[in-house]
Amino acid sequence: MDVIASFKDREIGAVIDPTVAAFAPLLKAKKTFIKAVEKRTFKYGETDRHQLDVFYPPPGAHFDADKKEQVPVLFFVYGGGFNTGERSIAPRTFGLVYACVAAFFARRGCVVVVPDYRLVPHVVFPGGAEDVRDAVRWAIVNPACLRLDAAEGAEPALDRIALLAHSAGAAHVATMLFNHGVLPADDPLRVRIRAVALQAPPYDLSGMTAAWPTAHVHAAYWTSLEAAHAADPLHLYRALSEAEANALPALLMVEGEREPDWLIAAGDAFVKEVKGKVGVVPQRVVAKGHNHISLNWALSTGEGEEWGEEVMEWLKKQLA
């Protein structure tokens, strides 16, 4: 982690390669440990991007020792800037990202689901959010796929679903929750989702101009920069009524200590909006020493995992 914390540049594009270089050997050393968590792959939609991996808690791994018969279901939705990303990145990480994230939480008693979703240029807003919604629906109607014979007879607790999502993936999750065109206010799925942890999504895109390096991708996903400004997570949340905002699941904000300034400012703007609407400041976990990329790559390596333990403690409170 000292290497990650020493990077002077905090912009996402500048830290990707050195972060991968720092964590690849750590992940490789833990390959057997990560791969020991059983995984099965299923299809939840029509395209090749509509696939997901389910990771099962090893025998003896209990989320709640007093409720061994019920296993919470945690979705992890990775990022990638809306035009990249996959549930298993190879060859740079030996296929261990994002299995490292799933294994971390599965070993702590969760059934973990990691879905792929459609990417630019093959999808436009709100298609990514619709894919996340459909993956969650698939889990609800296919509970047998979340149950592993070796898991001591435990049942997936599909009334205690949580989502952990990073960057663009977190924007998709926020869109699903804040946009009633994607998930209507009276949809029964809403009451099943009890907790959502958002890892540094682009809450506020109002400052993005055509000069930004990634502006063309955002314009392609939202169909224009103007549309992106109007339908980013901050502005979707702003459009909710107080009652609709209060009906949302418990929310945790997660970010690296060394996020880009614009992402930190976007998070601050979202906190202000939430406080103004419902009178509560969202809990915020700041991962010491981490940048935008390193948070998830650290899990299951034994280094820089403290933020994951904080998320677990929060989940235990919300899913009790």
283-316: pLDDT as tens digits: 999 999 999 999 999 999 999 999 999 999 999 9
- Kind of pairing between the strands at 283-291 and 250-258: parallel
Nearest Cα neighbor of 163 from 213, 113, 214 is 113
Question: Residue 164: what are its φ and ψ, rounded to 5°?
Answer: -120, 125
Residues spanned by the domain of 301: 2-318
Please check the confidence at residue 137 and state whether its pLDDT lies above 70: yes
Query: Token pair for residue 215?
Result: 């502006």
Looking at the structure of the chain, the number of domains it has is 1
Question: Residue 77: what are its φ and ψ, rounded to 5°?
Answer: -115, 105
CATH no. for residue 9? Answer: 3.40.50.1820
112-121: pLDDT as tens digits: 999 999 999 9
C-alpha distances out from residue 86 to 91, 119, 160, 174, Å: 12, 10, 26, 19
56-95: pLDDT as tens digits: 999 888 887 767 778 999 999 999 999 999 999 987 788 9
